[in-house]
Amino acid sequence: MIIAVDTGGTKTAIASFNNSGEIISCTKFPTPKSTQEYIKSVSTSIKNMSHNVDISAITIAIPGIIKNDIAAWCKNLGWKNFDVINRLRKYFPHTPIFIENDANLGGLSEAILQRVGDKKVLYVTVSTGVGTGFIQNNQIVPFLQLSEGGQMILEHNGIMQSWSSFASGRAIYDKYKKFGCDISDEKTWLEISSAIAYGLYVIIPLVQPDIIIFGGSIGTYTQKFKKNLTILLSKNLPEYIVRPKILKAAHPEQAVLFGGYEYAISKISNK
């Protein structure tokens, strides 16, 4: 059994996987802001889920920057230098535990599931915040492993602010007082498309991805903004920059969990 933990800015999801990469069970709970409560909730959930079955590995996905296996900075949770692995080892002393950025893991699983081969993939998760992951040859690109695309500072409505502050799921809810599932009018989706496009105007010329895959809670509704986003990118990007293909994640809200499984398998295989 492999356990994957998707730590979100709002909720945390934990899934157990069998050897075929299928989810056996899954549980969710609001993400505690207290690191002590987080470790307690995660460890308790894993123990309840495993039912004394041997755990081959645990992968922890964190929405922030991971340095030297430490959650160095997680803006939406207020965490800094949080040593998740060593804190969890108290409860699982003999189990390999891995940690990685959530968008990196989401991108990894989607690149594998959608069989993109050697194409350059930009994975964008639009949920509580905005996260970016860069994948090629079914591997997280090392040079961009610490990227935090959602924290790019852009001029928007005359104000210098992070991309996440106006394009994330939280920002969308704050502005329209609606979740993605409740938004139906085209005007609102056009405005959302424009907010998402702002960050892509910077990222696409910089890394020139072949494919962009959208995940997260808002990524679930890619079909609602894909057409407008494609038009905006075609209109505003320099003519010599190739327009990436835009895809919806195969598992928009579970991509990180599947990525946690794939990451653990790769780590175990390399040992």
Average pLDDT over residues 150-156: 95
- Phi, psi torsion values for 226, nearest 5 degrees: -60, -45
* Distance separating alpha carbons of residues 198 and 203, to the nearest angstrom: 9
- The average pLDDT across 94-122 equals 95
By percentage, how much of the chain surpasses pLDDT 70?
100
pLDDT tens digits, one per residue of 21-32: 999 999 999 999
Amino acid letter, residue 193:
S
Express each pLDDT in 197-251 by its tens digit: 999 999 999 999 999 999 999 999 999 999 999 999 999 999 999 999 999 999 9
Cα Rg of the chain (Å, integer): 18
Q: Residue 50 — very low, low, confident or very high, per pLDDT cuts 50/70/90?
A: confident
Query: What's the whole-number mean pLDDT along residues 128-153?
Result: 94
pLDDT at position 141: 95
| Higher per-residue pLDDT: 259 or 271 | 259
User: Encoding tokens for residue 181?
Assistant: 């599932």
Band of residue 271 on the pLDDT scale cut at 50, 70, 90: low
Beta strands in the chain (DSSP E): 2-7, 11-17, 23-30, 57-62, 65-67, 70-74, 79-82, 97-101, 121-126, 130-136, 139-140, 153-156, 159-162, 211-215, 245-248
Q: How far is the C-alpha of 259 from the C-alpha of 52, rounded, in Å?
A: 24
Closest CA to 214 of 250, 178, 179: 250
53 vs 207, more confident: 207
Residue 19 pLDDT grade (very low, low, confident, very high; cuts 50, 70, 90): confident
The pLDDT mean for the chain works out to 94
Token match 């996440």: residue?
A: 164
Comparing CA positions, the residue from 134, 76, 100 lying closest to residue 6 is 100
Which two three-digit tokens encode residue 255? Answer: 């991509």
Helix/strand/coil percentages in the chain, nearest 5: 40, 30, 30
Question: Which tens digits make up the pLDDT trace of 72-83?
Answer: 999 889 999 999
Q: What are the phi and psi torsion angles at 232 (to 5°)?
A: -65, -45
What pLDDT does 269 receive? 80
Spatial neighbors of 247 by CB under 8 A, at least 6 apart, are 114, 211, 212, 213, 214, 222
Supply 114's token pair: 């959608």
Q: Answer whether 154's CB lies under 8 Å from 124's CB.
A: no
Query: In this structure, are residues 218 and 172 in contact, taking their beta carbons and an 8 Å threshold?
Result: yes
**Distance in angstroms (rounded) separating the CA atoms of residues 63 and 41:** 17
